[in-house]
């Protein structure tokens, strides 16, 4: 059965899109069919996906494939409550043959008001609003079952808006990526309450589906773990004391707020006493090089870096970045192991 996963934090700049793309590459290299769905109107995931293609450089050319907005536009306007997934054209990666894209769309923001209305009205007897409320869940599960995907990884914006909420509730699980600092701590404080409200309201809405014999969906994504991102490392390869202090505070807050008895459902591999599944340090120039090439950070080699950077990578310098690259791969593997 297809697993639908997202990386979510309402605080931006935490590398969630980059980490999601690298996880997709890691899973695909291990024989999984992966769909990456760009559910963020900023379309950053789509840009990474097409970075290896010349088409991305021409703003007048339309990118191939169906966008997420195009895929659900008919359902949003009331044409139908069901999907014909064969009409959704996915794009196969030129770099990773087992990765496909449901591309982003700058006009996806237009769906915001429809999702707001559905959130407020789905609890009534309005069947159309109930169908709109369930539209993303139906889309993802239709694509997953009809195209035999092992995973669908959904990229969302750093917000608590209606689009992000609709995507989040359609998922089976989520990771919380953040930078261990003051604002990362505050993000956890905010999200623990927001996510509980979403799940509780979804339960109320779901109870109104059954009398109409409409498909229910769980709407209670499992918390799969905390991913600490972009912290600085010292020569001893330990987080600087500033980040270490905030890391400890954040871990304790996650334990008390995300893993308390009335909180979110924990993932099957989550350790309650240690919710951190990966610690990803700053990978320096490897990140922008990988984004320019549309490749995973662990697939960047010296000749790739030299081709797109003015930096001269001698043996000693590249040896350091090679170590960082392999360390990054190990941390991505830990995220993969935490998947349901």
Domain boundaries of the chain, sorted by first residue: 3-337
Strand partners of residue 20: none
Q: What is the pTM of this model?
A: 0.94
Strand partners of residue 155: 7, 38
Digitized pLDDT (tens) for each residue of the chain, 340 residues in all = 999 999 999 888 888 999 999 999 999 999 999 999 999 999 999 999 999 888 888 888 899 999 999 999 999 987 666 677 889 999 999 999 999 999 999 999 999 999 999 999 999 999 999 999 999 999 999 999 999 999 999 999 999 999 999 999 999 999 999 998 899 999 999 998 999 999 999 999 999 998 988 888 999 999 999 999 865 554 445 556 777 888 899 999 999 988 876 768 999 999 988 999 999 988 888 888 899 899 999 999 877 766 666 566 666 667 778 888 999 999 999 999 999 9
Q: Which letter, b or e, does each residue of 296-326 get, where b requires 16 or more Cβ atoms within 10 Å of its Cβ?
A: bbbbbeeebbeeeeeeebeeeebeebbebbe
Which parts of 30-77 fold into alpha helices (H)? 44-49, 68-77
What is the pLDDT at residue 313? 65
What is the pLDDT at residue 284? 80
What is the pLDDT at residue 47? 96
What is the pLDDT at residue 235? 47
What is the pLDDT at residue 240? 64
Homologous superfamily in CATH for domain 3-337: P-loop containing nucleotide triphosphate hydrolases (3.40.50.300)
Strand partners of residue 227: 177, 278
């Amino acid at each position: 059965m297809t697993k639908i996963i997202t990386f979510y934090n309402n605080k931006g700049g935490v590398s969630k899109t980059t980490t999601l793309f690298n996880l997709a590459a890691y899973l695909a290299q291990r024989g999984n069919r992966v769909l990456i769905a760009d559910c963020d109107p900023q379309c950053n995931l789509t840009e990474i996906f097409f970075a290896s293609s010349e088409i991305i450089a021409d703003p007048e050319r339309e990118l191939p494939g169906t966008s997420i907005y195009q895929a659900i536009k008919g359902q949003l306007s009331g044409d139908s409550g069901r999907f014909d997934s064969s009409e959704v054209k996915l794009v196969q990666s030129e770099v990773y043959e087992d990765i496909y894209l449901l591309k982003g769309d700058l006009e996806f923001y237009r769906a915001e008001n429809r999702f707001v209305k559905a959130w407020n009205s789905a609890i009534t007897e309005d069947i159309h609003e109930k169908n709109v409320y369930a539209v993303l869940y139906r889309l993802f599960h239709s694509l997953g079952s009809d195209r035999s995907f092992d995973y669908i990884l959904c990229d969302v914006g750093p917000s608590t808006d209606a689009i992000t909420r609709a995507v989040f509730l359609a998922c089976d699980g989520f990771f919380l990526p953040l930078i261990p600092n003051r604002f990362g701590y505050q993000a956890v404080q905010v999200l623990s309450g927001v996510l509980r409200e979403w799940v509780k309201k979804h339960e109320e809405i779901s109870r109104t589906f059954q009398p109409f014999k409409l498909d229910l969906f769980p709407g209670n994504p499992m918390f799969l773990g905390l991913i600490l991102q972009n912290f600085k490392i010292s020569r001893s390869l330990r987080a600087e004391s500033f980040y270490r202090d905030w890391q400890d505070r954040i871990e304790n807050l996650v334990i008390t707020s995300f893993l308390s008895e009335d909180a979110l459902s924990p993932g099957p591999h989550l350790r309650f006493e240690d919710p951190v599944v990966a610690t990803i340090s700053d990978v320096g120039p490897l990140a922008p090089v990988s984004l320019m090439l549309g490749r995973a950070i662990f697939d960047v080699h010296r000749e790739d870096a030299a081709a797109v950077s003015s930096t001269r990578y001698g043996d000693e310098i590249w040896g350091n970045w090679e170590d960082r690259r392999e360390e990054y791969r190990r941390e991505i593997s830990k995220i993969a192991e935490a998947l349901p």
